[in-house]
Amino acid sequence: MLSRFCFPEKSTLIYYIELEFESTVDVNVTAFLDQLKRIDLSKATVKQFNPTTNCNLTETNKQCQCMPGYKWSDDMDCTNECELNINTTAVCLSSNKVSIDGTTTDTSMDCSLLCDQSKVNSAEHKKLLQNRTTMLVEKYSTLDYFNSLVITGYGWGSLVLNYTVIYLGPVSIDDLQKVVLQVDNTKLVTKGLIDIKINNSQPVDIYSSATIICTPPPNIGSVTVKWYLTNSQNKTTEITDGIEATLTTNQNKISTVQLNNFSESWKGTFKCVYAIYGISHTASEQLDVALLPNIQALSNPQFPICTSLSSTSFKVYCNISADSENYTVTWNHSTSSTTVDTAGNRISYIAYVTILCDSKETLNVACTFINTRSKNNLNRTQNVQIPIIYAYSTVCDPEGGWPIAKSGYTATMPCDNSGVGWRTRKCNGTRWSTEISTCVNANLFDIKTDVQELNKGIGFIKDNADQLFQRINDSTTLRTFTFPNIETSVNIFGVMNDVSTRQQNQWNDTVMSKLVSSASNLLNDPSGWQNPENKSIFISVEYLKTIERMMNNSNLISNTPYISSNAQMALCNHTSPADICKTFNASVRNSDNSVVVFGFRNLYQILPKAEGNDSNTTILSVTPVNANNTNRSITLEFDSAKQRLPNHMIYCVYWDENLNEWSSDGCRWAGVDNPTLCICDHNSAFTILMSKNAETLPYMDELTYAGLGISILSLLACLIIKVLVWDAVVKSPISNFRHVALFNISLCLLLAHCMFLTTSKPESIPPNWCSILTLIKHFFFLAVFFWMLCLSFVLLHQMIYVFDRLRKKVFLGLSITVGYACPIIAVAVTYISFNNGAEGEYYSKSTCWLTYKGTLKGSIFAFIIPIGAIVFVNLFTLAVVIMKIATPSISEAKARDEKDVAKSMIKTIVFLSPVLGLSWVLGFFVLGLDLTVKPWAALVNYSFTIFNSLQGLFILLTNCVGEKKVRDALLKRFKIKQSVHSKTESSSKAQSSIMRK
C-alpha cells in the first residue's frame, strides 16, 4: 500500500504500508481506503491510497502479484507472480515511474570546495552539499510522487550541479515547468513521461517494415520532437527522413518513425526527445532486427584440375562480417568436412569438397545462412560456379599471380593492398583478357558507407559535410585514379547532394573550398574515366550533372573564388570584377543575374565528343543563384577561341541532359569580330566546339573545274585566232605591243589553269610531284600578272606620252624581263626561303599549293603581295584610261555626248578587266572575309570563283572575238579561203567538160 504525505513546505514523501486482513474482506477494505480522500494529521495530510501489491499469505511465505499499473522493483528477481518469505516486504513500483537527470548552474559561487577531492570528508564540504541538496529538494519535492534527489556530480567554473530526481508516479508536465522556472539555469532530461512502443513483434525481419511511436501526455504544448538511434557500437545519431525512414508528428504531438525495407543499420535503441522550456522529455526502446549476412564466396583452387585423377578436392569459402546472430549454415553439396575460421571482423565458413572426375564441365556449390530468429526472411544463399579442367580443356596458363583458368570462364582475385572489391580476368581461348577491377580505396569505401547511412535517414548532412568533404579530398589526391574510385566518388557526391536537398540544407561557403578541391582531384587523370568493361565514359556526364545539381543547391555569400588545379568556382554578378568571374581560360562577361560559375579544366577530354567538332577548352557551368528568375541571358568568353583557324566555325554549345549530347539551342557565336564570345539565353554547362574542318561552300569545286575547262578551251581558241589573224591586225608598234602581251597572258593563263586541274586531287599525287606542280603553278600565275603589268605599262605610256612611241626592241626586252624573269626570280627566292621547298613550309600536301599560316605567314604571301601590287597598278591604269575618256579634248567633246562617254567607259572596263586581272581584287576580299561570315562570304567567294575560273572565256570574248579588227581579219581570212576554193572548183568543172567533149 502506497501513501503520500504533504508537509507545510509543500514537500511530499512516499510511504509503503503493509496491511494484513482476511481475503474475504478484501473488497470492503479497498472500498474503505478509496473513501479516505484526506486525513489531516498534526504536521501532514494523507491524501491518497493506492494498492500496489496483492499477496496471499501462508505460514512461511507469501505469493504476491503487482496490481495493474505497477511492476516489481529492479531489486526483485520477479516477473509476474513472486514467492517471498513471510517476513520479506513485497515492493511493486508504479509503471509510470519518472526519473529526471538535471543540471543546475549556480553563478553565485564556484566549485572550488565541492570539486576538490581532498575536501570530500570535510565539514564544509558536507555542509555545502547538504545545503545544495536541501535547496533542490525543496523545489522538486513539491511535485506528486517525489521519492528522492541525489547529486551525482559537479562541474568547474561556476558551481554546476548534476543530479537525479526519482518520482514513483506520473508527474504533471506543467508543474515540472513551474519548478524549472524557480530554479535558475536549469536543464532537465526526463524519462517516463513519454510512452514509446514498437508496433511489431520482435525480432523484426531485416528488409521488412517497422513502426516506432512516441506518445506524450495530453496538452504537452508546443514542443520540438527529435529522434535518435544508438547502434551496437554505442554511437548515437539523430534520425531524419531518408530512403528507409519517414518521420511524422501529428497535431497531438504523437511522433512516428516508419521504417520500410530497412537494413541492418537500424538495429539499436530508438529514443524520442520532446524539448520545451529547457526540459527534454525522453523515451527509448530497443529494436531487435533479425539480420542476414552479405556473403562473399570463392573456391580454392578456382579451377580444380581433373587431368589424370579419378577425383579431385577443393575448398569453398563463404565469408561474412561478424555480427550478433548465430547462423545455421548449410551446403547444397556433400562435404567431407566444414570448419569456421575467424579473423578480425571476418568469419569464414569453409567446406571441403571432393568430386569424381566424371566429365562435368562445372559444379555449383552454394552456402545458405539461416537465421532461426527470423519470421519470413529466413535465409540467404550464395552460389559458386566451379569450372573443372580436364585434359582436353583449353586453358590460360598462370600469369602474374593469376591461376590457371579454363577458357570461357572468369578468374577472380582479391584487391591489392587495402582495396575493397574484386579483380576479374576472363580466359578467352589460351589468352587472358584485360583485367577488370572493382577495387575501391578502403577510405573511400568507408566514406560511401557513411554517406549511405545519411541517405537512409541516420544523421544530418549539416553535421557531417565538412569532415566528409575533407575525407573525400584526402582520399582522392592520387595523381592516377582508377575508374572504380572515380565512380564511387561521383556516387558519393550524388548521394550527399540528394541528402542535402531532402534535408533542405544548402551547401554554403564553409564547405565549398573542400568541395571544389575534391571535385578537382577527380580530374587529375583523364584516362581513368573510361569504364574498362564496356568502354563507356558516361560517368563523366553524371559527374557534370552532379556538380551542377550541387551548385543549384548552394547558398553562397562570399565573392572570393575557390581555386584548385582542375576546378574553380566563383559567385559572380554584373558588378563583379572580371578576374572574379574567370575560371582558367573562360569567363562570364555579362550576366543579368547573380550566378555560380564552376569551371572544369580537363573535363573536355572526358565528356563525349561532338561528331565533326572538337573541344579543347574549359567547360563552364553557370547556375543562377535565384532559380525563379526567368531572365537568364549570359555572355561567356573563351580565350581558346583565339586559336581558331581561318574559315573554321565555332559552335557555342551546352550539355543537353535530355538528349545526352552537346546542343547549340539558345546559344550563338558572336562571330569573327568577337571570336571569343558566346551569348546564351539560358544557364547550363557551356563550352565551345571548334570545327575540325574548314567551312566549305557547296558546288564550289564543280564551278571551279567547269569554269577552268571552259577557260582552257577559250584560251586555246584565242591563241589559235591570234596566230591566224596576226599579220592582219598587227600593223603598228602599239598593236604589236598589245597583242604580244595578250598572247603571253593567254598562254601563261592556259598553262596555269592546266596545272591547276592537274592538282585537283592532291591526295593521289606523289609528294615530289606535288612540290614540282606547286612550283610550276606559282610561276605561271605570277607570269600572267607580270604580263598584265606589261600591258598596263603600254596603256599608261600611250595615255601619258601620246607622241613618244616605244621602240619595238625596248618593249620586247622589257616585257620578256618583266613577264618571265621576274616570276622566275620571285619563285626561286620563295622556294629557297621556305626551307628549300619543304612540305608544310613552301607547299601543302593537302592542296598542292602554297601554304597559309595566318596573317603574313606562309609562302602564299609570296604570291599575294606581288599580284596585289600589280592589281593596284592595273587599277590605277584603268582609272587613268577612264579619266581620259571622261575628259576628252575640246574637239572630241563637241562630237560626243554623255551617253557616248558612258558607253565608252563601260566598254573600257569590260574589255580591260579580264586582261588586267581586275577580278582578282575579289581575292583580297576572299582572304579577308571569313567563310563563317554569312551570307557575304559566300557571295564574294562565288563571285571570285566564277569570274576567275572563266577569265579565259572573258579574254576570248573581249579581246579576241569582241575586237572588230580581229573579227574582220578572221572573216576575211575565211572568205579568201572560200573564194580560192570556189575558183578551184570552177576550173576543175571546166576542165572536166572539155575533156568530155
Instruction: Find out whether 553 and 507 touch, Cβ atoms under 8 Å.
Output: yes
pLDDT of the residue at 3:
40
DSSP output for 62-101: EEEEEPTTEEE-TTS--SSEEEEETTSPP-EEETT-EEEE
Residue with cell 606559282: 778
User: CA–CA separation, 671 vs 651, rounded Å?
Assistant: 10
Q: CA-to-CA distance for 16 and 654, rounded, in angstroms?
A: 81
User: What's the grid cell of residue 994?
Assistant: 572539155
Packing angle, helices 700-729 and 936-949, rounded to 10: 40
Query: Among candidates 501, 520, 512, which has minimal Cα distance to 461?
Result: 501
* Integer angstrom CA distances of residue 15 from 6, 20, 46: 11, 16, 10
Question: For residue 578, what pLDDT is reported?
Answer: 61
pTM, whole model, 2 decimals?
0.78
What mean pLDDT do residues 646-655 have? 84
Distances (CA, A) of 472 to 109, 155, 496, 539, 923: 48, 38, 12, 18, 60
Residues constituting the chain: 997
State how far the Cα of 790 lies from the Cα of 821, in Å rounded to an integer.
13
CB 171 within 8 A of CB 144: yes
What's residue 952's pLDDT? Answer: 85
- CB of 353 closer than 8 Å to CB of 321: no
The pLDDT of residue 33 is 67
Q: For residue range 314-326, what is the model confidence (pLDDT) as tens digits?
A: 999 999 999 889 9
C-alpha cell at 550: 550541387
pLDDT digits (tens, 9 = 90+) for 790-834: 888 877 777 776 555 666 677 777 888 888 889 999 999 999 988
Place 892 in a pLDDT band, splitting at 50, 70 and 90: low
Mean pLDDT over 170-196 rounds to: 90
Neighbours of 742 (CB within 10 A): 21
Q: How many other C-beta atoms are found inside a 10 Å radius of the C-beta of residue 643?
A: 11
User: For position 37, what pLDDT does the model report?
Assistant: 59
Distance CA(859)–CA(609), nearest Å, equals 34
The dihedral sign for the CA sequence 197, 199, 200, 206: negative
Tell me: the pLDDT tens digits for 351-400? 999 888 887 889 999 999 999 999 888 899 999 999 999 989 999 999 98
Asked if residue 98 lies in contact with residue 189, where contact means CB atoms within 8 angstroms, the answer is no
Contacts of 877 (CB under 8 A, 6+ apart): 792, 795, 796, 912, 916
**pLDDT at 261 (0 to 100):** 94
Query: Does residue 615 contact residue 689 with C-beta atoms inside 8 Å?
Result: yes
Is the CB of residue 917 less than 8 Å from the CB of residue 791?
no
Output the pLDDT for position 9.
56
Q: Residue 889: what pLDDT? A: 58
SS (H, E, C) 383-395: EEEEECEECCCCE
- Residue corresponding to grid cell 610531284: 769
**Most confident among 566-580, 632-646, 879-893 (mean pLDDT):** 632-646
Q: How far apart are CA 121 and CA 734, in angstroms?
A: 140
Residue 935, preceding bond cis, omega within 30 degrees?
Answer: yes
From CA 586, how far away is CA 589, in angstroms rounded?
A: 9
Each residue of 484-507: b (16+ CB within 10 Å) or e? Answer: bbbbbbbbbbbbbbbbbebbebeb
Bridge partners (DSSP) of residue 14 are 4
Q: Measure the CA–CA gap between 188 and 183, rounded to whole angstroms.
A: 11
- Name the DSSP letter for residue 26: H
Which residues of 602-755 form beta strands (DSSP E)?
613-614, 619-624, 634-638, 650-656, 661-663, 667-669, 677-680, 685-691
Closest CA to 595 of 565, 551, 646: 551
CB 11 within 8 A of CB 137: yes
> What are the CB-based long-range contacts (under 8 Å, 24+) for 472-476?
472/444, 472/447, 472/514, 472/518, 473/514, 473/517, 473/518, 473/521, 474/443, 475/441, 475/443, 475/444, 475/447, 476/444, 476/518, 476/521, 476/522
CA-to-CA distance for 627 and 554, rounded, in angstroms? 11
pLDDT category at 898 given cuts 50, 70, 90 is low
Q: Report the alpha-carbon distance of residue 151 to residue 106 in Å, rounded.
A: 14
The C-alpha cell at 644 is 581558331
From its phi and psi, is residue 251 left (phi > 0), alpha (psi between -120 and 50) or beta? Answer: alpha
Q: How far apart are CA 789 and CA 916, in angstroms?
A: 7
Residue 905 predicted with pLDDT over 90? no
Using CB atoms within 10 A of its CB, is residue 569 exposed (0-12), middle (13-18) or buried (19+)? Answer: buried
pLDDT (tens digit per residue) in 585-598: 888 876 667 888 99
H/E stretch holding 868 reads: helix 861-886
**Least confident piece of the model among 205-219, 499-513, 869-883:** 869-883
The 10s digit of each residue's pLDDT in 239-269 is: 999 999 999 999 999 999 999 999 999 999 9
| Whether pLDDT at 441 is above 50 | yes
The pLDDT of residue 2: 42
Residue 777 CA, distance from chain mean position: 52
Rounded to whole angstroms, what are the CA distances from 330 to 290, 337, 528, 835? 18, 12, 42, 82
Q: Are 465 and 511 in contact (CB under 8 A)?
A: yes
CA separation, residue 794 to residues 790, 791, 810 (Å): 6, 5, 12
Note whether 398 and 406 are within 8 A (CB). no
Question: Residue 579: its pLDDT value, please?
Answer: 62
Task: In whole angstroms, give the CA distance from residue 635 to residue 623.
Answer: 13
Which phi and psi (to 5°) does residue 657 adopt? -70, -25
Distance CA 518, CA 469 (A): 7
Residue 83 has pLDDT above 80, yes or no: yes
At residue 588, what are phi and psi to the nearest 5 degrees?
-95, 115
Whether the predicted pLDDT of 7 surpasses 50 = no
Return mean pLDDT, the chain.
Answer: 84
CA max distance for the chain: 192
The pairing of strands 389-390 and 305-306 is: parallel
Asked if pLDDT for residue 412 goes beyond 90, the answer is yes
Q: Report which of residues 454 and 849 the model is more confident about.
A: 454
